[in-house]
Copies of this chain bind each other. A is one copy, B any other.
Amino acid sequence: MAPVSDVLLIEANVDDMSPQLVGPLYDGLFAAGAVDVWSAPILMKKGRPALQISALAPLPAASAVERAFFEGSTTLGLRRQRLDRVVLSRSFAKVETGYGSVRVKVGALDGQVLGAHPEFEDCRRLAGKAGVSTREVLSAAAAAARKLLPRRSRRA
List of B residues within 8 angstroms of A74 by Cβ:
115, 117, 135
List of B residues within 8 angstroms of A96 by Cβ:
none
List of B residues within 8 angstroms of A117 by Cβ:
16, 74, 76
- Tell me whether A47 and B46 are in contact (CB under 8 A): yes
- Decide if A93 is an interface residue (CB 8 Å cutoff): no
Closest partner residue, chain B, to A89 (CB atom): B76
Interface residues on A, range: 35 or more
> Which residue of the partner chain, among B52, B70, B132, contacts A88 with CB atoms under 8 Å?
B70
- Decide if A100 is an interface residue (CB 8 Å cutoff): no
CA gap between A63 and B75 in the complex, in Å: 28
CA gap between A9 and B79 in the complex, in Å: 9
- Decide if A127 is an interface residue (CB 8 Å cutoff): yes
Contact residues, A13-71 vs B (CB, 8 A): 13, 15-26, 28, 30, 36-52, 56, 63, 66-67, 70-71
> Which residue of the partner chain, among B26, B36, B79, contacts A84 with CB atoms under 8 Å?
B79
- Tell me whether A138 and B20 are in contact (CB under 8 A): yes
- Tell me whether B135 and A71 are in contact (CB under 8 A): yes
Closest 4 interchain pairs by CB? Answer: A47-B47, A131-B155, A143-B143, A24-B134
20 contacts between A and B (CB under 8 A): A4-B80, A15-B18, A15-B20, A19-B19, A21-B138, A24-B134, A38-B42, A40-B41, A40-B43, A41-B41, A43-B47, A43-B49, A46-B47, A47-B48, A56-B79, A66-B86, A71-B133, A76-B87, A80-B85, A130-B153
